[in-house]
């Protein structure tokens, strides 16, 4: 770290109390990264550091991603940008790219430090700024308290994420996430409940459980009994007043009848939404990807979920242009997606990751072909989302209010409310129609 980092008492920032240095957060990548960034922000808020825009901050924490070549380029750009700001802030880079390519990030500028262990990032910031833990606002109130009560997360996010699992033991041919994040491990159930209760204390009514491979969650309850994801969900519903729990993405083999039954029995306290990562709708491509299921298993999981949870909406991830993907394979994948009737699709063009088996596989697909395939899938995704929105008209739903006249439905649709409601509230609505954009629901708030 160069001497250009200013000493703490020189850290006066216009409009904020002179005593209190500020931190900016740049989050790149997945929902797990977001949750981790919120946890870091939470800890630094408790140490009295304010959240400030990059241009005003004495430190910038950048949680990097390495899932695609584009993600890495974004990370490098974010680090360079922060490091070259006029106030030369301390830049702390962490995350998947920091784990895989630390030297590359360190070489970008003298005021960059890399901290691979996310739990140590707050210390790296405090040490780097040479500041103590607690700071007091002008009115003598502990700054931490003031920040803690403002929003469910210090970075202003409603519907906070709760990371319950990290790492992965699978070895999909295109993926380096498992290299960056290590073996699969679960957060203890008691700790998960503590994090849920903390979010509720901060007025959240919906929390999103997230992980790199969420469905392989394993833990024990205080009575010693072993649980998996469905067991954790049932226990959290029994032992906390959480309004709604949402699941982030899950692998197909983990969409079990037990999970669907637990969701169905929750009467809407578990969001009727499953984001099941398909990646390809063609068995030959899935086999080359080294995915651990085929379309028969995927279809069965979906049919079971729909039979137990008729109102469930489905999301998915799909890769186009995986090495060896022929036109015929792509058409098969596309028609399988159409059959599944997804209401939400994240479409990725295959990105060559050095060190993965797919990077050296024969049949690398032309970028123009990938672009054309991606455009066709996005078109289908749009059509299916509009169709699903129409399907929901006339139904009742629970909406998590994000702004006085807007919220998010159980199936992860945006909803325009007909009366103003308090932010973070859960309100019952009847879906009366679809807005002109074709995918936003119109919700009549029920008393």
The contact set with ligand SF4 (CB under 6 A) reads: 168, 170-172, 175, 177-178, 212-213, 251
Beta bridge pairs of residue 166:
185
Pairing of strands 22-27, 219-220: unpaired
Of the pair 319, 389, the CB lying nearest ligand SF4 is at: 319
Of the pair 11, 168, the CB lying nearest ligand SF4 is at: 168
Cα–Cα distance between 441 and 421 in angstroms, integer? 16
Of the pair 159, 291, the CB lying nearest ligand SF4 is at: 291
Of the pair 212, 259, the CB lying nearest ligand SF4 is at: 212
Of the pair 124, 278, the CB lying nearest ligand SF4 is at: 278
Kindly state the smallest distance separating residue 171's Cβ from ligand SF4, in Å.
6
Kindly state the smallest distance separating residue 327's Cβ from ligand SF4, in Å.
25
Kindly state the smallest distance separating residue 331's Cβ from ligand SF4, in Å.
24
Kindly state the smallest distance separating residue 173's Cβ from ligand SF4, in Å.
9
Of the pair 90, 96, the CB lying nearest ligand SF4 is at: 96
Of the pair 287, 432, the CB lying nearest ligand SF4 is at: 287
Cα–Cα distance between 257 and 275 in angstroms, integer? 16
Kindly state the smallest distance separating residue 55's Cβ from ligand SF4, in Å.
35
Kindly state the smallest distance separating residue 124's Cβ from ligand SF4, in Å.
26
Of the pair 30, 113, the CB lying nearest ligand SF4 is at: 30
Q: Count CB neighbours of 201 within 10 A.
A: 11
- Residue owning tokens 């059509």: 383
Strand arrangement, sheet containing 206-211? 185-186, 161-166, 206-211, 244-247
Of the pair 178, 413, the CB lying nearest ligand SF4 is at: 178
Kindly state the smallest distance separating residue 414's Cβ from ligand SF4, in Å.
27
Kindly state the smallest distance separating residue 164's Cβ from ligand SF4, in Å.
15
Kindly state the smallest distance separating residue 78's Cβ from ligand SF4, in Å.
22
Tokens of residue 444, six digits: 């009549």
């Amino acid at each position: 770290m160069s001497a250009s980092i200013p000493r703490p008492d020189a850290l006066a920032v216009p409009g904020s109390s002179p005593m209190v240095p500020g931190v900016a957060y740049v989050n790149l990548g997945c929902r797990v990264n977001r949750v981790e960034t919120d946890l870091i922000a939470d800890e630094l808020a408790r140490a009295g550091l304010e959240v400030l825009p990059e241009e005003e901050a004495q430190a910038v924490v950048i949680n990097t991603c390495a899932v695609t070549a584009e993600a890495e380029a974004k990370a490098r750009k974010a680090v360079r940008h922060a490091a070259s700001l006029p106030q030369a802030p301390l830049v702390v880079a962490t995350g998947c790219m920091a784990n895989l390519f630390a030297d590359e990030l360190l070489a970008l500028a003298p005021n960059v430090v890399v901290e691979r262990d996310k739990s140590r990032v707050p210390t790296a910031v405090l040490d780097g700024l040479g500041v103590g833990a607690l700071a007091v606002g002008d009115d003598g109130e502990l700054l931490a308290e003031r920040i803690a009560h403002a929003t469910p997360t210090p970075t202003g996010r409603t519907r906070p994420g709760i990371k319950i699992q990290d790492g992965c033991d699978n070895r999909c041919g295109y993926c380096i996430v498992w290299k960056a994040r290590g073996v699969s491990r679960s957060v203890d159930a008691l700790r998960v409940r503590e994090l849920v209760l903390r979010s509720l204390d901060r007025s959240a009514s919906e929390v999103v459980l997230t992980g790199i491979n969420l469905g392989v969650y394993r833990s024990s309850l205080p009575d010693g009994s072993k649980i998996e994801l469905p067991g954790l969900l049932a226990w959290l519903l029994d032992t906390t007043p959480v309004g709604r729990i949402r699941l982030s993405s899950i692998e197909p083999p983990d969409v079990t009848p037990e999970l669907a039954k637990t969701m169905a029995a929750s009467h809407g306290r578990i969001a009727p939404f499953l984001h099941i990562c398909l990646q390809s709708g063609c068995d030959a491509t899935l086999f080359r990807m080294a995915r651990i299921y085929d379309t028969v298993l995927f279809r069965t999981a979906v049919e079971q979920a729909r039979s137990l949870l008729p109102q469930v909406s489905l999301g998915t991830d799909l890769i186009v242009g995986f090495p060896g993907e022929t036109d015929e394979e792509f058409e098969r994948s596309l028609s399988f997606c159409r059959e599944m009737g997804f209401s939400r699709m994240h479409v990725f063009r295959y990105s060559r990751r050095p060190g993965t088996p797919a990077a050296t596989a024969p049949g690398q697909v032309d970028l123009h072909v990938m672009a054309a395939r991606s455009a066709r899938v996005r078109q289908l995704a749009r059509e299916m989302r509009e169709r699903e929105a129409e399907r929901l008209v006339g139904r009742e739903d629970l909406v998590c209010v994000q702004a006085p006249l807007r919220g998010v439905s159980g199936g992860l649709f945006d909803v325009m409310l007909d009366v103003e409601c308090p932010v973070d509230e859960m309100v019952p609505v009847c879906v009366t129609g679809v807005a002109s954009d074709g995918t936003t629901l119109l919700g009549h708030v029920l008393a």
